């Protein structure tokens, strides 16, 4: 008996935990469109992953290519430090480091999950502090913490077996990552001081995003156009950047930054003696590392930024700006005439390429792209030299996921985003049938993937949605997603589908993102209040559009107040409920309109059109269903008050849904009988 009770309590706790996690995921999807909800849905859509590579020869070839050997890796300086001058690790540092460990990350070779380590660190912070302090004073990073499990993730659309077709990720021991976080926090404090990392580096830095980098590039180009100048944008790609960074250059950059000697010594200890391992058909294979920063470590990205900072601080010609995001480099060249553009661009790229070569890095020349942005009507081109390759300006280029075109009107980006989102929306529609499938809240979560694709970097290009053509292109994919969320027929208008699904129109969402990105918007308020205020303003704009629209007037008659419907606390849409709310369903007037029935009239009431209003509120065939609903509501139901009744309680909502399901089941049976009768008539005539 005790076992049964305990098992029941466990099942209740699991169900409650799943429900809370799902609600949290739905809430976070608004503020983080590329977070857990996006990854969870996309992992399901992509299907099974490719099997791991286990061929020893192929593994050796991939590792040799992705992790090249540096014969000078041992030429690192010996750093002498007085142990008494090293600040000891305190418990507050352990708490802070543990709080930054993500609980859903895959554990490293030690098999310790992050959640277990976080519990241990909170329970005995003093023990971790003593161990880490000893490591700092002895200048040792334990060997077992430097063992890395190599995971090769195939790049989509690339040929399997080619080393460049894989993205290497290294799983490191969890305790080592905790120690790395302590070092990271101390090193970051030095790197972010004045005179440290360049303001033009946006990757791996708090408060600096891809949108910031894209905004800087487009802002420089927009300002150039306003001043009647031209702007060339060049994107440069560094070959296998993180795995080829020279350790000697990292240490040189740390010394130049005036990092405390004990941290420099720990970085040397962190780098030396690193090993990769992976499983193969011949057993476990070990590979030594002699350069690069581990992709998957905590300290690796910061070490890369410090080493790479030199390329962003080069002295370049006036009008030339370099913008970095991790290893990506964007170069903008602003000048009055095209000859100056070419001269300054070639000089800047020569300087950048020279610095990269001295640092042991190299450009992927064939991946260099160039676009010339100007107001000139006459098509003009410029060319630049990158190594031994000549690059000509093109219509557009992709920078950090955004297509930048020569007129800076983002037309190409809108087209690409709409195409990609439409493909995903079609895939989603196959797994979300109108009848059956997940409930509406889960459908909405799945559809957030379409939102994420459509609204990527929206603060940069949201203003171009004033153009109806651009708005319409995004709206096609967004409408398809909304139809699947509310289980509506494809003939339902976008305006009705958005209201029923509780999805703000895509252009309003884009402008909301732009408002939130603006630092002056509701300045001084908390981020939660700013998001809430922006959402209220968006709903007000949506309501105004809903009031003025000429479409979906039946739905408007039932749901005139968007806010109350949008913010309801209960009620999931079903296919039958959506048919009633949209007016698009198994009613003869609707079927006749699209050629699926010979008459629009009600079979009982003669010349009266059989539409949603007649069936639910007037037709004598369904008096019993109507009576049961009105008995619960204690009033006569009309199109103007039925939703108000449904929103009163869960029981009221469920009562209406049950009666609608029964009504539509009867309508469907009558439709099938009429169809069979027509088929028999046709057969008899033939």
The tens digit of pLDDT for each residue in 257-281 reads 999 999 999 999 999 999 998 888 8
Angle between helices 440-454 and 411-431 in degrees, nearest 10: 160
Spatial separation of the C-alpha atoms in residues 342 and 319, rounded to whole Å: 12
pLDDT > 70? residue 253: yes
**pLDDT at position 4:** 79
Which residue would you say has higher pLDDT here, 17 or 22?
17
Q: Is the dihedral of CA 469, 490, 29, 558 positive or negative?
A: positive
Q: At residue 130, what are phi and psi to the nearest 5 degrees?
A: -65, -45
Q: What is the pLDDT of residues 575-599, one digit of tens each?
A: 999 999 999 999 999 999 999 899 9
**pLDDT category, 446, cuts 50, 70, 90?**
confident
User: The tokens 């109507």 sit on which residue?
Assistant: 626
The per-residue pLDDT of the chain, averaged, comes to 89
Which residue would you say has higher pLDDT here, 532 or 6?
532
Cα 390 to Cα 346, 356, 374, 393, 684: the distances in Å are 10, 19, 21, 10, 76
Mean pLDDT of 278-298: 88
Q: Is the dihedral of CA 574, 580, 581, 583 positive or negative?
A: positive
**pLDDT at position 301:** 94
**pLDDT category, 153, cuts 50, 70, 90?**
confident
pLDDT > 90? residue 460: yes
pLDDT > 80? residue 326: yes
Mean pLDDT of 167-196: 92
Q: What is the pLDDT of residues 403-441, one digit of tens each?
A: 999 999 999 999 999 999 998 888 777 777 777 667 777
Spatial separation of the C-alpha atoms in residues 408 and 564, rounded to whole Å: 39
**pLDDT at position 107:** 86
**pLDDT at position 30:** 53
User: The tokens 């849904």 sit on which residue?
Assistant: 657
**pLDDT at position 495:** 96
Q: At residue 331, what are phi and psi to the nearest 5 degrees?
A: -120, 125
pLDDT > 90? residue 562: yes
**pLDDT category, 167, cuts 50, 70, 90?**
confident
pLDDT > 80? residue 631: yes
**pLDDT category, 634, cuts 50, 70, 90?**
very high
3-state helix, strand, coil in the chain (%, to 5): 55, 10, 35
């Amino acid at each position: 008996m005790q076992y049964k009770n305990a098992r029941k309590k466990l099942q209740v706790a699991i169900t409650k935990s799943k429900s809370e996690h799902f609600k949290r995921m739905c809430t976070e999807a608004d503020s983080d469109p590329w977070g857990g909800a996006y990854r969870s849905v996309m992992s399901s859509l992509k299907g099974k992953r490719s099997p791991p590579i286990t061929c020893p020869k192929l593994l050796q070839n991939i590792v040799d290519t992705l992790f090249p050997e540096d014969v000078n890796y041992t030429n690192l300086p010996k750093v002498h430090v007085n142990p008494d001058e090293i600040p000891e690790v305190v418990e507050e540092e352990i708490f802070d480091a543990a709080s930054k460990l993500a609980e859903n990350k895959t554990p490293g070779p030690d098999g310790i999950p992050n959640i277990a380590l976080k519990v241990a660190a909170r329970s005995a912070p003093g023990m971790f502090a003593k161990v880490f302090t000893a490591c700092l004073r002895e200048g040792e990073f334990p060997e077992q913490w430097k063992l890395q499990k190599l995971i090769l993730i195939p790049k989509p659309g690339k040929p399997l077996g080619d080393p460049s077709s894989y993205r290497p990720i290294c799983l490191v021991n969890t305790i080592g990552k905790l120690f790395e976080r302590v070092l990271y926090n101390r090193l970051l404090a030095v790197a972010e001081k004045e005179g440290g990392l360049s303001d033009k580096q946006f990757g791996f830095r708090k408060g600096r995003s891809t949108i910031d980098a894209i905004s800087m590039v487009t802002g420089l180009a927009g300002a150039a156009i306003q001043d009647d100048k031209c702007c060339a944008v060049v994107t440069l790609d560094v070959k296998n950047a993180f795995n080829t960074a020279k350790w000697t250059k990292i240490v040189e950059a740390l010394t130049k930054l005036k990092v405390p000697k004990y941290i420099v010594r720990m970085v040397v200890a962190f780098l030396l003696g690193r090993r990769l391992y992976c499983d193969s058909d011949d057993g476990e294979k070990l590979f030594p590392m002699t350069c690069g920063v581990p992709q998957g470590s905590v300290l690796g990205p910061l070490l890369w930024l410090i080493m790479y900072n030199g390329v962003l601080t080069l002295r370049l010609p006036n009008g030339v700006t370099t913008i970095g995001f991790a290893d990506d480099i964007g170069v903008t060249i602003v000048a009055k005439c095209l000859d100056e553009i070419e001269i300054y661009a070639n000089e800047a790229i020569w300087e950048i390429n020279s610095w990269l070569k001295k640092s042991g890095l190299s450009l992927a020349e064939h991946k260099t792209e160039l676009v010339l942005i100007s107001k000139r009507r006459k098509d003009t081109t410029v060319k630049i030299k990158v190594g031994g390759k000549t690059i000509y300006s093109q219509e557009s280029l992709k920078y950090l996921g955004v297509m930048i075109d020569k007129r800076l009107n983002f037309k190409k980006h809108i087209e690409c985003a709409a195409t990609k989102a439409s493909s995903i929306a079609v895939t989603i529609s196959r797994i979300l049938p109108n009848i059956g499938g997940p409930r509406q809240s889960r459908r909405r979560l799945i559809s957030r993937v379409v939102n994420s694709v459509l609204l990527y970097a929206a603060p940069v290009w949201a203003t171009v949605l004033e153009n109806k053509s651009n708005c319409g292109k995004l709206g096609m994919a967004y409408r398809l997603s909304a139809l699947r969320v509310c289980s509506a027929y494809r003939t339902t208008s976008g305006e009705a589908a958005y209201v029923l699904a509780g999805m703000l129109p895509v252009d309003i969402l884009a402008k909301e993102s732009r408002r939130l990105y603006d630092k002056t918007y509701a300045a001084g308020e908390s981020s939660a209040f700013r998001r809430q205020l922006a959402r209220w303003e968006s709903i007000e704009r949506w309501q105004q559009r809903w009031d003025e629209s000429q479409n979906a007037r039946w739905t408007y008659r039932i749901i005139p107040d968007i806010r109350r419907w949008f913010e309801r606390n209960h009620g999931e849409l079903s296919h039958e409920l959506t048919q009633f709310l949209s007016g698009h369903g198994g009613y003869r007037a609707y079927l006749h309109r699209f050629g699926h029935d010979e008459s629009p009239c009600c079979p009982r009431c003669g010349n009266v059109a059989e539409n949603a209003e007649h069936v639910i509120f007037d037709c004598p065939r369904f008096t019993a269903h109507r009576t049961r609903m009105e008995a619960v509501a204690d009033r006569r139901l009309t199109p103007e008050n039925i939703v108000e009744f449904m929103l009163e309680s869960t029981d009221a909502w469920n009562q209406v849904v049950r009666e609608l399901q029964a009504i539509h089941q009867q309508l469907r049976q009558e439709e099938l009988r009429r169809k069979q009768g027509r088929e028999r008539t046709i057969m008899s005539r033939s």
